[in-house]
Amino acid sequence: TRRLLPGASFFRPRRSPAGRLRRRMAFVEGGPTKMKKAENTLTTMVRALQENMASLERMEEERVQLLQQHQQEKARMRESYEEQKERLREELELQFEEEKAELAAKMEEVKAEVVKEMTTIQAEMDQKRANEMLEMMATIAEHKEQSLRVGAEKEEVSKDLAEFREYCERVMEEEKQEMKRKIAESQAEAEKAAAEVGAIRQEMANVRSKAHRQVCEERADMTRTLEEERERFTAELTAERESMKKEAQEAIKKLKAAAETNLAREKAQMTKVVEDTKAETTQLEAKMNKEMADMKADFEQTLEKETKRSEAEVGRLRADCDRRLEEQQSQLQAEIETAKAEADRRVAEAEQQLEAERLEMQRQVQEVKEDCDRRLAEEKDYSDRVRHVLRELPPLQAAMESGDIRALEEELRKWKGEALPDTFGECVGVVDAVVRFALERLNSWRAVELTVRDVLKQVEHLPRTVGALMEHCHRLFRAIKDAQLTGMDLSRSDPQTIEQICRVLHAWQERAMSHSNTVQMAIVRKVVAWPNLGPFDFTDLDICLRLVDREESGSQVFLSRALALVEDPATAPKDFRAQLSHLETMLFFLKYTKSEDLELTHREFRKQVATLDPAIVGYLAWAERMYPPGAEVVRLKNDSSLMERQDVSAVLEQIRTTGSKNGAPDALGVFREIFYQWAMAMRNKFDLLVLPHHTQVVTLMAFRSFLESRQSGIAPHALIAQVGTGEGKSMIIAALAVYVVVAMGKKVHVVVDDETLLERDFWTFKRLFDKFSVTKNGQGARPLSAMLCVPEERLKHDSRCTASRVDPDADICYCEAKHVQSFYASIARGEGSDFASYSERVLILDEVDAFVIDEEPNEAFVYPNKELSEMASCVARVLDAGGNQEELQKLRNKDHPAAARVVREMSKEWERGKKLAVGEDFVYAKEAGRYWSVHAGRANPKAWSLALECRNFQDKLTQEILFQERLFVMSRPRVFRKYHKIIGLSGSIGSDAERVFLKETYRAAFFEVPPFLKTCRGSPFH
């Protein structure tokens, strides 16, 4: 029989019982082994399931980490956005606050400046009118006294020199002209002061108009900048909001896609694992069923229990596996759903939060925009008011500045009888002040016009007497001066009035003068037409007319050059007296030029040898050897004319020709070129020949010997010459300065004791300095540099030769003593205090007595202390608030050692500052925006006073106190002794005691320069 075996695909014959028995025994023995294999297989499947569960847990941890990273990134982005938003809002608010405060401060400053300017101008005008009246009375009295003295001197000289009547008359004429020059010099300072006042007034007007233009431009620029910043900020904010929104959406999309991708991948992996497990289980179940069937067929009776137990165990295991798989599958599905729901919830929360943040941002942006619009509206309203003021006021101001009374009346009709409109806003005070000022100016102009018309009506029929006509002319001249002081232009207001005034003055000039000529008529017409006469008054006009009161037939040389001088557009009336006197002096010297005698000159110098220092005797002897008779700069022929152009050209060529003989070097050297260039400069200006006197040449040669001598313990360190007035002292100084620079290669400080004379001398000889060049150490030639030290407020911006302090690189520096001391102090404050440069500098002093004897020998130098200035500012704020004693005590008790002293000095000077009087103690300087101290009738911006600092603080012109302390005291003699050599020229050296002081202090030696007439043959002295 054949039997189909389970799992077999073929039939096989039944074996023998013994074989079956053996096979069954082998099966029974192999059953536990197979069960062991099944258990191992199930254990492997369980282990695989555990690994799958661990993998799922790791995936869950990674998902949690991703969510945490997402939250952190989202929080970081939110914080960054909040910081940027807060920073932008703070910057915008701060910018608006600063701009608003700046605009408010500028408007306050403009208002304060206008009010103070008006007050200051009114006070200055009143003070100047009173001062001018006093000065006029004093000048008249002085002129009367001088006239009496001149008459007495004239009678005395006439009695003493009767035998020399012809010469005496000439001497009297010369003394008369000298007295006129002295009168001109005495009034020069007043004229300069008035000129400075006029310049300051003009500068104030220019600064005021410039300030108005700058304020308008700055406000327009600020408004435009504000609009651009607002637009830029809005655009940047919108772009940033859109960018953040896009970034957030993209981040959410990426996170959602990544989560879905991970979940899908995990689900696919779990499904695959479950299917693989089911397939393996099915295969295992089929295999075991087949084996159990075989066992059941073979061992139906023997193995029935074991078969049932195996089947039950297999069923139990299968059920347990299914249950576990179902539980894991359901748990995994629940976790996936939970994770998905949590992710969806968090995404929704993030979207809601982003939307809320976006709405909040929009709300804040809207608030900022509304605030910006509100502020811009306020600023626009304020700017419109200012613009309205700037549109309405310029015609009125232009009418005032033009000086046309008719134009001013026409403009004021627009403002008359009407209240100021509300469109001016906060500027109504400024507008009201300008209108009131215009009304005051109109009233003053009307008064001037009424005076002029009244006088012209009275002189319609010319008075018979010269005195009555002169009185009317005097009134007309005062009216002209009043018109100029108030800014009225008579030529614009009424051109016919100018012609009538000229007609009256010409009539007086023809009657009052002995010899009426064209020069006098030119002077009258130029004075009447000149826009700003300054200190020039009717007395000056009378003096100028009398200076040229000569017959045209016998004074053609003088009158022709005087007419050219008067008609020169660059010559102002205030310069007429000085220029005409200078012209007369040059003609006087030119008349005696041929009478000069060099031998007589040396003889006059030798007369003082007995009283001179041996060193000076040697200097003068050397000068006589180098410049002996026969070696004159120019040898004039008796028949030569110094007025003919041909003869003058020959003389100029002779100046440049060397006077050396036998090939020896010329003793005069550089001085010849100096004399030539100076003669050319004077010829171009006055069309006259100017030659150096023999006394000037000998003095220059003596100074040259002194400069080139070796220094020793007994040799003089300073050489001082006494030169009379009008003897050419300024020319000697300029020639020495050029010689020291060009021939000796050193630098020069020229110190003049008067600011007016300092500027006059510098600008007079500037054309001479520009003709020379300097060569040093074999290098190429460069132009000689000359500088003028002036106050900072008077610096000329278009000039390269003015400075407020000594320029260490300048070859020639014209300055005052204070500038020399400041130069020394700047070196002393520097590192190392190197004074070696003084060995390469020469000091030339004008008026030695005023610098070395009349003034204090020591000067204290003070400098600001920043720490004490801050402390003083705190004290000023407490005092300005009422002076709380507790607050002052706290400031006294500070740890700083100078705290108590600062509080004490501030309390004292605070009260003193309240008592300072405007005009007497201080004046308002518009260009500086604060008060300046007044010294000797002039504003001094360099002067410091703690009381004046307090007054500036009290009147809100400054918010800080400048507190200065004394650092050191400088000795003037010590400064002067540092120089290589000192040269002094003075009209008077002083008494014997003063000479002893100068000799002991500076090792000074002295000599006198003889007067020019003493060196001329045929003069009254010989």
Q: What is the pLDDT of residue 747?
A: 93
Average pLDDT score, the chain: 76
Question: Whole-model pTM?
Answer: 0.53
First-to-final CA distance of the chain: 191
**Better-predicted residue by pLDDT, 904 or 334:** 904
**Better-predicted residue by pLDDT, 623 or 82:** 623
- The radius of gyration of the chain's CA atoms, rounded to the nearest angstrom, is 54
Q: Do residues 396 and 416 lie in contact, with contact meaning Cβ atoms separated by under 8 Å?
A: no
How many percent of the chain have pLDDT more than 70? 67
Query: Does the structure show a pLDDT above 90 at 425?
Result: no
Nearest to 876 by CA among 905, 852, 853: 905
Q: Do residues 972 and 839 lie in contact, with contact meaning Cβ atoms separated by under 8 Å?
A: no
pLDDT tens-digit map of 701-758: 999 999 988 876 678 889 999 998 888 899 999 999 999 999 998 999 999 978 888 8
Q: What is the pLDDT of residue 793?
A: 66
Q: Do residues 303 and 28 lie in contact, with contact meaning Cβ atoms separated by under 8 Å?
A: yes
If DSSP codes are grouped into helix, strand and coil, which group holds residue 720? strand
Q: What is the pLDDT of residue 23?
A: 64
Q: What is the pLDDT of residue 736?
A: 94
Buried b (16+ CB within 10 A) or exposed e, 388-427: bbeebbeebbebbeebbbebbeebbeebeeeeeeeebeeb
Model confidence at 681, in pLDDT bands (50, 70, 90)? Answer: confident
**Better-predicted residue by pLDDT, 816 or 193:** 816
How many percent of the chain have pLDDT more than 90? 9
Query: Does the structure show a pLDDT above 80 at 602?
Result: yes
Q: What is the pLDDT of residue 21?
A: 61
Query: Does the structure show a pLDDT above 80 at 157?
Result: no
Model confidence at 302, in pLDDT bands (50, 70, 90)? Answer: low
Q: What is the pLDDT of residue 279?
A: 72
Buried b (16+ CB within 10 A) or exposed e, 526-558: bbbeeebbbbbbbbbbbbbbebbbbeeeebeeb
pLDDT tens-digit map of 936-987: 677 777 778 889 999 989 888 888 898 887 655 556 777 788 888 999 988 8
Mean pLDDT lowest among 17-31, 551-565, 610-624: 17-31
How far apart are alpha carbons 873 and 963 in whole angstroms? Answer: 9
Q: What is the pLDDT of residue 576?
A: 84
Q: What is the pLDDT of residue 863?
A: 64
Q: What is the pLDDT of residue 341?
A: 80
Query: Does the structure show a pLDDT above 70 at 187?
Result: no
Strand pairing partners for 59? Answer: none
Work out whether the CA dihedral 983, 986, 988, 990 comes out positive or negative.
negative
Q: Other CB atoms closer than 10 Å to residue 209's CB: what's the count?
A: 14
Q: What is the DSSP letter of 611?
A: G
Q: What is the pLDDT of residue 785?
A: 92
Q: What is the pLDDT of residue 406?
A: 82
3-11 long-range contacts (CB < 8 A, ≥24 apart) are: 5/294, 6/290, 6/293, 6/294, 6/297, 7/290, 7/294
Q: What is the pLDDT of residue 898?
A: 83
Q: What is the pLDDT of residue 387?
A: 65
pLDDT tens-digit map of 487-519: 888 877 878 888 888 888 888 888 888 888 888
**Better-predicted residue by pLDDT, 364 or 99:** 364
Helix (H) or strand (E) holding 748: strand 747-751
How far apart are alpha carbons 440 and 204 in whole angstroms? Answer: 19
Mean pLDDT lowest among 298-307, 367-376, 588-597, 871-880: 298-307
Mean pLDDT lowest among 452-461, 625-634, 753-762: 452-461
Strands (E), 785-866: 786-789, 802-803, 812-815, 841-846, 858-864
* Residue 963, C-beta contacts closer than 8 angstroms, at least 6 positions apart: 864, 865, 868, 869, 871, 872, 902, 946, 949
Q: What is the DSSP letter of 918?
A: B
How far apart are alpha carbons 656 and 667 in whole angstroms? Answer: 13
Nearest to 295 by CA among 542, 559, 676, 26: 26
Query: Does the structure show a pLDDT above 50 at 91?
Result: yes
Residue range 70-78: mean pLDDT, rounded: 73
Query: Does the structure show a pLDDT above 70 at 651?
Result: yes
Q: Do residues 617 and 609 lie in contact, with contact meaning Cβ atoms separated by under 8 Å?
A: yes
Model confidence at 169, in pLDDT bands (50, 70, 90)? Answer: low
Work out whether the CA dihedral 556, 558, 559, 560 comes out positive or negative.
positive
**Better-predicted residue by pLDDT, 72 or 672:** 672
Mean pLDDT lowest among 381-385, 746-750, 779-783: 381-385
Q: Which of 44-53, 159-168, 464-473 has the highest mean pLDDT?
A: 464-473
User: HSE-up of 1014 (CA within 13 Å, CB side)?
Assistant: 13
Q: What is the pLDDT of residue 198?
A: 64
Nearest to 193 by CA among 131, 247, 144: 131
Q: Do residues 739 and 704 lie in contact, with contact meaning Cβ atoms separated by under 8 Å?
A: yes
**Better-predicted residue by pLDDT, 615 or 382:** 615
Q: What is the pLDDT of residue 832?
A: 46
Query: Does the structure show a pLDDT above 90 at 812?
Result: yes
Which two structure tokens, joined as six digits, stand for 86? 């807060």
Nearest to 688 by CA among 557, 570, 518: 557
Model confidence at 2, in pLDDT bands (50, 70, 90)? Answer: very low
Q: Which of 202-211, 466-475, 799-808, 1004-1013 has the highest mean pLDDT?
A: 1004-1013
Mean pLDDT lowest among 190-204, 744-758, 824-838: 190-204
